[in-house]
Amino acid sequence: MSRSRLILSAVLALWACGSCSPGPVEDVRVDPYSRPKRCIREVKRGDLVRYHYNATFTDGKQFDSSYDRGTAFFVKVGDGRQLAGVDKGIVGMCVSERRKITVPPHLAYGSQGAGDTIPADSTLVFDLVLLDIFNMADRVKTQVIKTPQNCTRSVTRTDFVRFHFNGSLLDGTPFDSSYDRSQTQDNLIGDGWLIKGLDEGLLGMCVGEIRNFVIPPFLAFGEKGYGKEIPPHATVVYDILLVDLHNPKDDISVEVREIPEPCTRKSIAGDYVRYHYNGTFLDGAAFDSSYEHNSTYNTYIGLGYVISGMDKGLQGVCMGERRRITMPPHLAYGQEGAGKEIPASAVLVFDIHVIDFHNPKDSVQVDVTFRPEVCNETSQVNDYIQYHYNCTLMDGTLLFTSRDYSVPQDVLLGGDKVIDGLDEGLRGMCVGERRTIVIPPHLGHGEKGAGSVPGSAVLRFELELVSIQKGVPEGYLFVWLDETPGAIFNALDINQDKEVPLEEFSEFIKRQVAEGKGRLKPARDPESVIGDMFKNQDRNGDGRITADELKLKAEEDAEKALHEEL
Ligand SMILES: [Ca+2]
Ligand SMILES: [Ca+2]
């Protein structure tokens, strides 16, 4: 406090009391009877203040009260708009402080008094509570309460933000809270929907950051205030938590986390993708996870079956890839949101793990990993083969393996005993050959899956061919490898007694096989195959084939009998 100002005050006091009775000039008496523990700002000359007061005479009789009017008094300190004594007595006050200011007549209405209300030479007592202070030189006062660990992006002009807030007046009276509504405040920045102080104050904030703003009324609700809660000329205080942030011009953003090697194929529009996901909001809160459902999410991509951000973000992925797809609301659930989980205008973050994908046009993909140098014959339809295999999902999960059994797996190719893709993938192999084949679900276990095979799963088989037993054409039980014998009944009737019982027939066929002249249908007990052949020839079922029976059968089959039936 400068000496010159003290002198000036004294001179003014003397001047004001020019006509009052001589004697020591009494000054304003200030009794700060209730002062808040925390006082961040004290009233200075030039500040604008808002306060409530009761005004009485020294005998306690009230002559004025702002409470009676229902409106706090608003004034600029030090420019003569209020009684000189109050102007002086209010300096140094804090918000929420209560003061009793006793004003001697020369700093009030002097010897003149004021109309019928204030008699001459009245000492007046003002009981004040200060509600608000600001200065026209003020800007928004910002304090960072919490800084998030990661901040890759902060609010810029034209962004759209979602935030939570607690709003209060400078004296701590709350006026609104988004938390009470359990709903964020959602606004575009810089287009005038927010009060100026917030429009500016939110700039530079990160998701997860909390800031406290003290905003003077001329950057808030001004001289009109807002509704019943915010009076005219009120400084407002906000605690803001930024929850969400995007720009209406944003596209999806893709952050690749892991690409398995090798990646021989990337998904394109029209593919069917199976993937796991964790869905969160920008602040990390989870809203959904496929892991909780215990199954992958499966969809065609690029065809509009899923939200467009996902439709786009799943294109160009490799099997096994992990990526994070961040999508703005206009490429997700928009201004409507979805159900209880997704609020309006929410940015969504999906952490994706692609399990597999295929195209409905896919065929079996064969990759020969080892081919023996000597390869005289390869597996064909109707051959009976033995093979080893490991069957896995594309993420490596082992489903089945022949190594669980003491003998290799066996199958008659083309016999509809294994999934189509495997039957196809086992053809054309040499004994000893190894290959890896990839089977799309339409050639595997289909949309429904089977047992431990999930629906629509792509399967990978590692195969090794152990043996081939060449087969006979479809519908045959036996084929001649050399020429068909001319006098077939004579050949059959080994003991020449004009009839051929099963034992004789069986002996004959086995001899042909042993001598490499003929081949039985593989994959079945030879005795049973021979039994079937015998029944076909023994027309009358008496347990013996005769020359007539053989001839009859031969005629019926128009010379093809021996080929087809024997
Ligand atoms: Ca005989
Ligand atoms: Ca017979």
Q: 524 CA to middle of ligand 1, Å?
A: 26
How do residues 30-53 score in pLDDT, each as one tens digit? Answer: 999 999 998 989 999 999 999 999
Ligand lying closest to the C-alpha of residue 544: 2
So what's the pLDDT on residue 516?
A: 87
Distance CA 516, CA 36 (A): 112
Q: Is residue 9 part of a domain?
A: no
Q: Is residue 6 part of a domain?
A: no
Q: Is residue 14 part of a domain?
A: no
Q: 545 CA to middle of ligand 2, Å?
A: 4
Q: Is the pTM of this model over 0.75?
A: yes
Residues 36 and 127 in one domain: yes
Q: 454 CA to middle of ligand 2, Å?
A: 55
How do residues 509-537 score in pLDDT, each as one tens digit? Answer: 999 999 988 999 998 899 999 999 999 88
**Whole-number CA gyration radius for the chain:** 48
523: domain CATH number?
Answer: 1.10.238.10
Q: 21 CA to middle of ligand 2, Å?
A: 158
| pLDDT confidence tier of residue 424, bands split at 50, 70 and 90 | very high
For the chain, how many structural domains are there in total? 5
Residues 486 and 533 in one domain: yes
The dihedrals phi and psi of 524, each to the nearest 5 degrees, come to -130, 160
Q: 501 CA to middle of ligand 2, Å?
A: 8
Q: Is residue 1 part of a domain?
A: no
Residues 200 and 162 in one domain: yes
Residues 350 and 385 in one domain: no
Q: 161 CA to middle of ligand 1, Å?
A: 99
Q: Domain end: 214, 246, 278, which one?
A: 246
Q: 547 CA to middle of ligand 1, Å?
A: 11
Q: 522 CA to middle of ligand 2, Å?
A: 27
For the record, the structure tokens of 306 come out as 């899923």
Residues 284 and 307 in one domain: yes
59: domain CATH number?
Answer: 3.10.50.40
Q: Is residue 4 part of a domain?
A: no
Residues 310 and 214 in one domain: no
Residues 234 and 297 in one domain: no
Q: Is residue 10 part of a domain?
A: no
Q: 521 CA to middle of ligand 2, Å?
A: 24
Which protein residues have their CB within 5 A of the ion that is ligand 1? 493, 495, 497, 504
Residue 252 has pLDDT above 80, yes or no: yes
Residues 129 and 37 in one domain: yes
Residues 558 and 493 in one domain: yes
Number of CB atoms found within 10 A of residue 305's CB: 12
Q: Domain end: 73, 105, 134, which one?
A: 134
Q: Is residue 18 part of a domain?
A: no
User: For residue 493, what are the contacts with CB-CB under 8 A and spacing of at least 6?
Assistant: 499, 500, 504
Q: 529 CA to middle of ligand 2, Å?
A: 18
Helices 526-537 & 502-514, crossing angle to 10 degrees?
Answer: 120
How do residues 440-487 score in pLDDT, each as one tens digit? Answer: 999 999 999 999 999 999 999 999 999 999 998 888 898 888 877 778
Distance CA 507, CA 322 (A): 65
Give the domain extent around 229. Answer: 141-246
Q: Domain end: 469, 498, 513, which one?
A: 469
Residues 411 and 456 in one domain: yes
Q: 501 CA to middle of ligand 1, Å?
A: 7
Residues 147 and 122 in one domain: no
Residues 171 and 75 in one domain: no
